[in-house]
Amino acid sequence: MYKLNPYPAALKINNLDFLREKNGKLHHTSDFLTKALTVRRGQDFKIRLRFSRELLPQDRVVIQLSLGHRPLQAKETLVLLPLQRDPEPGRWSATITHTSQNEVTSPLTANDDVYLPDEDALSEYVLNDMGYIYVGHSSDIAARPWNFGQFEEGVLEVCMELLDQKGQKQAVRRDPVRLARAMSSLVNSNDDRGVVIGNWSGKYPQGTSPLEWTGSSAILLQYGKTHSPVKYGQCWVFSGVLTTGGVSFLLSDHSDLFSVMRCLGIPTRSVTNFSSAHDTEGNLTIDVYVNKQGEWLDDMTFDSIWNFHVWNDVWMKRTDLPEGYEGWQALDSTPQEESEGMYQCGPCPLKAIKNGEVHLPHDTSFLFSEVNANRVVWRVDNPDSDRQAVTKVREQRHTVGQNISTKAVGQDAREDITLQYKYPEAQIVFPRVAEVQCVFRWHAGSPEEKRVAEKAFAIQSAAGPSQETRQLDVNLQCFGPTRLGSPVSVPICLTNLASHPLTLNVTVAAQLQSYIGKTVATVKAAKQEVTIQAGESTDIPMELTPAEYLPKLSQVNDEVLLRITVIAECAKPYFMCMGETITSFDLLLELGTLGFDPGSLLVKKPSPLPMMPQKWGHLNKGKATSGTGHTERKPNTTGLPMDNCKLLIEGLGLFQLTTFNEGNIPVGRIFRSEILCTPYRTGKRKIIARIISDHISGITAEGTVTVV
């Protein structure tokens, strides 16, 4: 018969094993380069305790989880978990699952509101550390590779520090809605010295151009090292940094207390909205002003339509809203407008945006406007005098919110998610070339789209959409991107739809614009009078030489597009008609060859033993020894000299972001750079190369290697 020892020796813990390898595999956190155990929210994890003696029934074992320097139960920064046989549902608990002599194995459990049931989606939106952010404009979409880098050494710790920096109570940290909203403000620096300083000026003194960044990890590590906001970012940078993450708890045995620190752990995707409205007045209308020459007048309005804008979708339950609003929520960290006194935006259910429920939190009206606002163009005569005359030229309902895009699950391809944000709407019937018309031949929108528009405009706008009538077609045909250094030709065709002749004053303006819709420079403006017989057409050529646009292009170190605007004015009967188109410049630098054949390269992951650089081998056409060398050979085929040229290259799992200063590169000159690296991750790894110079920026290429 077993007898209880009334005076057993004091129970002590001789060893605590976090079972990092086992928990890391179960929680998909083995890739984190940290000495601490990293586990995810809402999933059991196990620890092994070795006691000084056998555990007796009268022994009471309490596991202490603490956060911060002065943890208190009242502040929910201290949790005491008695070791027990049965778990307590819905709360933190510690249960005994196995005993062996003096050893006990215990799983810790917690529930979570950000559970994503789709395993493939979970792998994409939490585990994938590489992806794409889509840029350009709606008729010329480009995939920009981006390294999210959530597993890189030090990134996890910086994300945890961000949560501490906000200083919110644990009740807030447990709420993914409030936590995500807080993070949308922490990524920008406007309110609380967050991670990135926004800059859309085209000038980036004492900092890094947004076009230079290849991923998030370099930004977060710089912020963690300096504790100062990083210069500079634009929308895709803010989105990329906000996407980085995907862990929940960091358990460390490198301090006196067993600590628990929370991070987002929320499935996240970067989303690009093409023709994205920035509605500063909250009236669901974007007003655009042009002068008699067709030149845009930016200083007359704070409204704008960005060629593209990048934000995030995050996946979570919405216990603060009626049932049915769970799932993807829009979240934007780009500092555009204040919300509740801070530069934060979202999270807002996509269902609310799609159904025009602009009264629901958070910032639904602003986000609805970004994908649905009307666009109204006004012509201003004598804009610089007291005798201004303003005439409405056109009103458009369906130009905003086009080709909403994100990376497809498990593929290096674009997925169009427009119908997750809005119902099918009326569309212009275009021929194969990009064409803009003053007479819209609509495919009828869906009944749901009409109902949503009427509901939203009834709440936000005093005047709903209006319908235009026209007597003239204005067609601008643009045959895709223009090779930089080549002439630009945009045929303009005017067709008289009236039953009588029309005499028209036609103005054409060509302007360089930044991606946020602001004018950089006017390249050319022309005016002429034409008479068109009833039912007939006439062509007006619009051509730009490289000598006309290249000097203007070099004025700003930013992404710019060429916008062509045509205004045709008729005196009898009086009317005005407008057409416009956008074209981009194709920077055809030969970056496809990254010094190896990406499809056939196989690299062996080296031993973890220390290796001297002089012993590393060189990678050349798929051959590698104990280390790897990577060669970049780049000819300048842009047709322009590249002054102060820099090559930036990053390979997650291979090497960190590295910059090569190449100096001035004349046209046709080939420059060569080499990186020696030791891969530290296996599998398919991506290398991103980016080239910038004083006058040409944003040239990007990528290649892949397989590490075994």
Q: Catalytic amino acids? A: 235, 309, 332
Which residues does 227 contact at the CB level (< 8 Å), separation at least 6?
Answer: none
Q: What 3-state DSSP class applies to 517? A: coil
229 CB-near residues (< 8 Å, 6+ apart)? 189, 193, 194, 195, 196, 197, 223
What is the distance between the alpha carbons of residues 269 and 255, in angstroms, rounded to a whole number?
Answer: 35
CA Rg value for the chain: 30
User: Terminal CA-to-CA distance of the chain, rounded, Å?
Assistant: 58
| CA–CA dist 691, 606 (Å, integer) | 30
Helix (H) or strand (E) segment spanning residue 380: strand 374-381
The C-alpha atoms of residue 304 and residue 489 are separated, in whole angstroms, by: 27
Of 377, 304, 296, nearest to 564 by C-alpha is 296
- Amino acid present at 595: G
The two tokens of residue 75 are: 């502040």
- Are the C-beta atoms of residues 428 and 442 closer than 8 Å to each other? yes
CA distance 224 to 125: 24
Q: Distance (Å, rounded) from C-alpha 637 to C-alpha 639?
A: 6
Q: Which of 66, 245, 40 minimizes the C-alpha distance to 160?
A: 245
Q: Are 347 and 321 in contact (CB under 8 A)?
A: no
> What are the distances in angstroms from CA 386 to CA 289, 292, 383, 389?
16, 16, 8, 9
